[in-house]
Structure formats: structure tokens, C-alpha cells
Chain A
Amino acid sequence: MLIAILIGFVFALFLAFAGKFFKGKLSILISLIPLGLFIYFLQYIPNIASNQIVTESQQWIPSFGVNLDFRLDGLAMLFSLMITGIGTLVFAYTSSYLKGHVYLDRFYAYLLVFMASMLGLVLSDNIISLFIFWELTSISSFFLIGFNNTNPDSRRSAQTALAVTGIGGLLFLAGALILGSIAGTYQISEMIPLSEMIAGNAHYVLAVALIFGAAFTKSAQFPFHFWLPGAMKAPTPVSTYLHSATMVKAGIYLLFRLTPVLGGQEFWNTTLLIVGAVTMFYAAFHTLFRTDLKGILAYSTIAALGILTFLIGLGTHEALLAAGMFILVHALYKATLFLMTGAIDQGTKTRDVTVLSGLRKVMLPIAIAGILAAISNAGIPPSVGFLGKDLIYESTLNFNHSAIFLTGLAVATNVLIAYAGYVTGVKPFIGKLPTGMEHVDYPPLLIWLPPIILGVLGFVFGMFPSLVQESLIKPILTSVGRDPSQVHLKIWHGFTPILGLSVLTISLGLLVYFLWKPTKSKEDFIERFEKFSPKHILESLAVLFEKASDLWTRIFQNGYLRNYISVIIVFLVGLVSLTLLENTTYRIDYSSFSRLTIYEVVTLAIMIMSIGFAVFTKSRLAAVAATGVMGYSICLFFVFYSAPDLAMTQFTIDTLTVILFVLVLYKLPKYLKLSDYKTRVKDTVISIAFGGLITILALEVLAQPVNEEISNYYAENAYILAHGKNVVNVILVDFRGTDTMVEISVLAIAAIGVFGLLKLRLKSSERKQK
């Protein structure tokens, strides 16, 4: 399975080098990768149907409990098949949809990375590796959404999507770590038996809230839903792939996956129920006011995601079954609708639903696909959508609390979703063909075949539910720890209240469709409430952040080196003196002091003199020379206290520092203006505070008992183990040689930095002179 996941990444990398071969007609060949993976996963169907779980484990960072553990169970199977199956169709569709695009190879590389990350996400059993794949999907979807990078709107939506899902990713990491430390393992399958213990932990609510944050941002739940309509700026294959089967379902997947671990608690269920209900109704209501095909689909997708969250929140046996079924149903019809939209957009160059009509005359196969999807979407038998809707009503009706209200809400949402399906899947194809669209090109095979396949599948599964019942739907329940033996999917249950609700939904949906016409003015009307939308609020927050960071930068990063130094020093003094004031007993250990000798007194006198000279001189060079004298005097102290190595190094360093200073300062003009009195007083205070702090620290260090174990070890073993008598050097090149290795690398990097900065500036100034 590791190879199945990695192949996408590897081939994406390969495309980076050999992309130009796959830009032309060969691009269709890339679809063989998802197709191969689809077949690969299909072969495990018998295992899954007989409740065998396929696992595979690779050690990664075993000391942290982070491993690449892959686990293919019912839930993972459903998602893997959707990712690779719909992936195959999207890949094939793309080769025609973006034919001749300059960056087609790049597009495929992004798509492959995305697909591979998605597979890794649904197959990971380790919550940390799941997180890593989760982040990879955010990053790769950023590139996909912003694929038309010359369009500022597109870039903006990509950024919004990345920001929202990225914040969710951070929350996920925090939640995963808390969950892992509560459970003592990062394996999700190992957490399931511990669910009671986890629920009893004091941090349970925090962990769940963080995971909710991740799932709600990814799955576009209110109030984070706004990135999804924005993401419609992406090319249609991307919208199809991201919003029907993969990206946005990742949050749902996470909730599903963690239901046996975290579910069954009031906080879990109530939150999901409320958020899901608000999202589904809010988004379904919004579909009424959109005129862009993709906009309508975006909101109906959000509503579908809301339904899924809502169902997981119900958490009953029937609800989870309904959710599992609805994931499949939604993926099939939503992908069809998106692919159909792409075909219409490509043919007519518009997606405005108020203009489009009668297109069946020019693109019949697309019309068939669209109508099939609309039927499944509305839940009309014998489509699979009917089964999905049935299960939803069954779970709300049998819920033990305010069942009528919940059912009513579900019906209302489904009516609006059905309306959205009619508007997008039926309306563009019926009625009179508007003038100017008679000569729309007939769509090529690769454009109309994928939506037809998906649309037909929706009916095949609906008429023969046994096809998916044993192999997919039952194992989903097993994988969340429920007993699937009572599941019998069928179209005809007899005259039950559920059937009545279904009929009601379908007919009300039709009624809304005939009575309500989407117009531009209605869209403008809803735009007026934009000020109160979460999107607007979050955007203003972002602007606020920008301003705050701007202010911050202006104060602290103002470009004056002297300010940087004083900020650093003041901060350090403040921080260290706070600790010193709080928990230090001041005692000076006079006994450890050695007696003052005459050379020390003389050196000290020289130091004081050079300090005075450095402070009061009017010439920069003289001040630099005076600090050089200071440095040499310190070297002398090293010599007095038998640290010749240190002295030598300090001596050479001081020499070079003075040379550097001279080089820089020599070219500067003489002191033009001395800093004013106030600044000088301020600087004096800072300097004295810093000097005082260092003195206190030095005295404190002296008073601490010294641990001599390490230094004794080095002294004893320097000759025995490393053949050297100079302990300092042996430590540098042998005992701690790796440190030195890294240090010289850092030195080299610093030199390259200096070289790069100065040479670049030179070049630009040279250019100006020319």
C-alpha cells in the first residue's frame, strides 16, 4: 500500500522533468495511474466483504510512536475507490478539457500529488501520518485552486482556501497530539478500545474541539464554508475532484473515523448536530440566490457536507449507515454535475443559468448525464439517491429526540438541494436553444463519457443495491464498530411514512423549481448581506492582522541597527533580571576569588582607559581601535588564567574584527552629527544595565557548584581514546566533531549570505549607473 500511495508522488516528480512528453496526446496515459490504483484496490473487495482488514506497517519514527501504518477497512475502501475511480475519470476528462494548455504537465503533477495525499490520508491508521497527508492535501489543493495563476481572483481564492484549511491543519495537529497523549498511542485502531477512558479525560473536550476545528474547516462547515464557493475559480476538473469525492470529504472522513474513538458523548453529538444542521440549511437556502452553475453546485455541496456532519452527529446506527451511503451517492451525482458544468462552460463559454437552455440539441450526451445526476440528486427512484434519502429520513425519524423537527429540517434541506439539482442538471438542457448557441461544438468523447459513466453508475447501484451492500456499505459500519447484519438496502419498503417524505421532497423540489427563477437581481439582493457573513468578518480580521503586523514591523524592524541592538539588549536584560529578581539568593563566594596580581591591575587599567577613550573620542577609527585594545586585554586575562587556546582565538578574531570595522568605517565621512544628549543618556542607561547584568550573572555562575564529571571525562580520555593531549582541540575535532562540522557549515552559509547580499546590491547599483 505504501507503494500505491507513493507512486503518485514519484510520478509527479517525474513529470517535473519529463513533463513535456506528456503535454500533448500522451497526457491521457497519465490516467492509467489512477486506473491501476483503482484496480489494485478493487482486488481487496473480497477481503473487505468478509470483514478482513488489510494492514501494512512501516517504521518511521518509532521512538515517537509515529509510523506509516496503513489500514484498509470498509471506510478506507470506499474512499480509496472514490479517489482512484473518480480520479481516473477526472484525469481522462482533463486531458481533453485542458488540451494544449501550456502547463498541462504541471496540472497533472499537482493532481497526482493531491490524489496520493488523499489516499495516504484515508489509509493512514497513525494519526500523525494522517495529519501529514492532511496537510499535503491542503498544500496541493492550493496549487490546484490557484492553477490559473494569472487571474488575481483565482490566486485570492487559493490563498483563502489555504488559510482556512491551514488553520484547520494546525488545530488538527494540536488535537492529534492531545489525543495521542491521552491514549498513549497514535494508532487510531488502538484508541478504539480506550474510548471510555478518553472520554473521561479532563482534556477530552479540548481534543474534540480541536479536531472539530480541523474537520469543519476542511469540510467547509459554517462558519468556515466560504472558502469552498471561492475555490470554484479552479478549472472544472479540480472542482469535480476536490468537491465531490476528495478534499472536502476529508473532514467528514476524519469525523467518521474518530466516531468510535470520540463519539457517543454529548459534546460530540450535539456540536456536530447543530453545526451540521446550520450548515446544511444555510447553504441549501443560499442555492436559491445563485445564478452561476458552479456557484449553485458549491452551495449544494456545502449543504451535502452539512447533512453528513448532521448524520454523524445523530450518531445512531441508521444515521451512520445513511452517512456512509450518502457519501457514495453524493460523490456520484456531484461529480457528474461538475463534469457536465465543465462541458457546458467549454462549449458555450458561460455558466450563467439564466441564459442557458435547450442545450440538449447540441450536446445530447451531456444532457443525459446531467438529467441522470439531477434525478439521483433529487432522490427519485430507481436512482441510488433515493436509497440515500430514504436512509436519512429513517435515521431522523427514529431519533429519540425532537424527531419531527430534525426530519422537517432534513426535508427542507433536501427540497432545496433537489431544486439545485433541477436547476443545474435539467434547466440548461430543456426549453428553447437561445440564439447564438446553435453552433456550439459537439463535446468530444473524453468530455461526455466520464459524466455518463458516473450518472449511469448512480442508477445501476440504485437498481441493484446488492452490488455495494456487502462490499462497501456494510464494511463501513463494521469499521466504525457497529453491527451491520441488519442492513438491507432496497428500493421498495412498502407504503411507509418515509416513502411519503420522499415523495414530498421530490414534488416540493419540483414546485420550487417551477415557481422560483434564479435571477441576477436575487443574487444582488443576497450580496447585500455579505457584510454580516463569516467571510467578510474573517477577511476584516485578516486586514487587522496585517495592520498590526505592519505597525509591529515599523516599530521593531525599522532598519536602524542601533535600535535592533537596544531592543535585543533591553529585552534580554528585562527577561533575565526578572528571573534573577524572583529566585536567586545573592551571595558572592569570595573564597573562590584568586588574589589580585600586578599584571592584572595593569591590564585592568589599560582596559578602563581604552573604554574611556572609545566613549569620548571624536573619531570612529579611534573608537574601533580602542575596542580592539579592550579585546586584546581580555586575551591577556585568558593567558593569565591558563586558557591559551581561547586567548589565541580571541586574539585573531579581535584583529580581524578591527580590520572589518576599519574597512567599513574608513569610507564613511567623519562624524557629522553627534547623537543628542537624550539619546546618549538612554544609551548609557542601557549599557550600564547590560554590563551590570553580565557582572551579576558571572558572579552567580561562580557561586554555583561546578559539575566536573564531564570535564574530567574529557581530560582523562583525550589521550586514550583520541590520541591527543590538547583537550580543547580533541573536543572540537573528535568528541564533539559533529558539532564542529555543523558550525563550519553555518560559517560557510554566513559567508555565502554576506557575499550574496553585497554582490547583489553592487550589481543593482552598477545597473543604475549604466
Chain B
Amino acid sequence: MKTIILRTASNYLLPILLLFSIFILLRGHYLPGGGFVGGLIASIAFVLHAFANGLKDTKKLLKFHPGFLMPVGLSLAFLSGLLPVIFFDQAFMTGLWMQDPIPVIGSIGTALFFDVGVYIVVLGVTLTIIFTISESA
């Protein structure tokens, strides 16, 4: 499937899709979207790139094995839940929020970090599964 059109397009599509996935991730708190969908879109971006340029190129682009994303995301999500326990003596997973919203991103709270964690885990999981299967198929 290494057509020249797809290959050219994928070079532009990868950053655009990734940006789009982050956009989806961030808007999740107010509008349809969120970490789960965002992560899936991001993995589609990489899978598309792999289809157009071959798995090797995508892996080179990623620089590390997508499996490493899983523990990173899990610990981020877990730490965001742990934060209120450690610093504010509140129950696990209590939502904490900053007073003023930041432009573009919106209000920042532990839920956002949690969602980012979900995003990273989903990306890691999907890419690990797809890369492993396409390597062994």
C-alpha cells in the first residue's frame, strides 16, 4: 500500500491528526471528546503513517517502543489521583482545580492530568497491539 499519494499525504496528516487528537483531548471537559477518543485518534495517526511509509519508518519516528507509554500514562493517572492524598489530605481521586482558567487550555485540574494519562495509555496500548500483530502477521 505504499502509494506515493498516501505517503505524501501521511507526512502532512500525521502532525495534523496528532494536533487534532490533542484538541479532542483538551476539549473533552466541556464538549464531546476526551482522553480515550484522543488517544485512539493519535494512534490512528501513527497507524496511517505506518501504512504509508512502513512500520520501520514509524518506529524510527517514534524513537522508543510504544509499550513504554503504558507505564508512563498509568503512573500519570495514578499520581493525579494520589496528589490530593499527599498534599491536601483528601480522599484518593478528589478533583482539585486551579482558580483561574488558562487561555486556550481552559481550567486546569487533576482531572485533566488524569485524562492525559488515559490518552497516553490508550495510545500505548493500541500501538503496541497493532505493531506487534503487524510484525508477526
**A contact residues vs B (CB 8 Å cutoff):** 644-645, 648-649, 652-653, 655-656, 659-660, 663-664, 666-667, 721-726, 728-730, 732-734, 737-738, 740-741, 744-745, 747-748, 750-752, 754-755, 758-759, 761-762
Contact = CB atoms under 8 A, between A and B. Distances in A.
A721 B51 CA distance: 44
A652 B81 CA distance: 27
The B interface is mostly helix, strand or loop, or mixed, namely helix
A450 to B, nearest CB: 52
Nearest to A738: B93
A762 B115 CA distance: 35
Interface stretch (B8-16, B41-49, B56-64): B41-49
Contacts of B47: 656, 659
Interface string B62-95: 0000010011011001100100000000001101
A88 B4 CA distance: 80
Contact of A762 (B30, B35, B37, B136): B136
A730 B51 CA distance: 35
B34 A723 contact: no
Contacts of A750: 125, 129
B65 to A, nearest CB: 9
Interface in B82-137: 92-93, 95, 97, 107, 109, 111, 114-115, 117-118, 121-122, 124-126, 128-130, 132-137
A686 to B, nearest CB: 27
Contacts of B35: 732-733
Interface centre among A737, A744, A747, A751 (most CB of B within 10 A): A744
A724 B29 contact: yes
A729 B74 contact: no
Contacts of B40: 649, 652-653, 656
Given A652-B40, A744-B118, A729 B33 contact: yes
A740 B114 CA distance: 9
A741 B124 contact: no
A10 B125 CA distance: 38
Contacts of A652: 37, 40-41, 44
Contacts of B133: 660, 663-664, 754, 758
B124 A655 contact: no
Given A663-B130, A762-B136, A730 B118 contact: no
Given A656-B47, A660-B133, A744-B118, A751 B128 contact: yes
A724 B126 CA distance: 27
B121 A737 contact: no
Given A649-B40, A744-B118, A664 B137 contact: yes
Nearest to A666: B137
A737 to B, nearest CB: 5
A595 B135 CA distance: 49
B37 A645 contact: yes
Contact of B111 (A656, A733, A738, A741): A733
Contact of A725 (B31, B70, B130): B31
Contacts of B129: 660, 750-751, 754-755
Given A645-B37, A656-B44, A722-B95, 14 more contacts: A652-B40, A652-B44, A655-B44, A656-B43, A659-B130, A663-B134, A726-B32, A728-B32, A733-B35, A747-B122, A748-B70, A748-B121, A751-B129, A752-B128
B29 A648 contact: no
Contacts of A649: 36-37, 40
A597 B47 CA distance: 36
A621 to B, nearest CB: 12
Contacts of A761: 136
B109 to A, nearest CB: 6
Contacts of A758: 132-133, 135-136
Contacts of B32: 644-645, 648, 726, 728
B128 to A, nearest CB: 4
A748 B132 contact: no
A715 to B, nearest CB: 14
Contact of B37 (A648, A666, A740, A752): A648
A409 B92 CA distance: 66
A744 to B, nearest CB: 4
Interface centre among B67, B122, B136 (most CB of A within 10 A): B136
A759 B132 contact: yes
Contact of A660 (B31, B81, B130): B130
Contact of B34 (A659, A733, A755, A759): A733
Given A747-B121, A755-B132, A734 B95 contact: yes
Nearest to A643: B32
A722 B133 CA distance: 39
B11 to A, nearest CB: 19
Nearest to B36: A649
Contact of B92 (A660, A738, A745): A738
Contacts of B81: 737-738, 741
B111 A751 contact: no
A726 B70 contact: no
16 contacts: A649-B37, A659-B130, A663-B130, A664-B137, A721-B95, A722-B95, A729-B28, A732-B35, A740-B118, A741-B114, A747-B122, A750-B125, A751-B125, A755-B129, A758-B136, A761-B136
Contacts of A751: 67, 70, 124-126, 128-129
Contacts of B92: 738
Nearest to A761: B136
Contacts of B30: 724-726
Interface centre among B28, B44, B135 (most CB of A within 10 A): B28
Nearest to A755: B132
A732 B36 contact: yes
Contacts of B114: 733-734, 737, 740-741
B121 A726 contact: no
A206 to B, nearest CB: 42
Contacts of B36: 649, 732
A656 B133 CA distance: 13
Interface centre among B74, B107, B109, B121 (most CB of A within 10 A): B121
Nearest to B35: A733
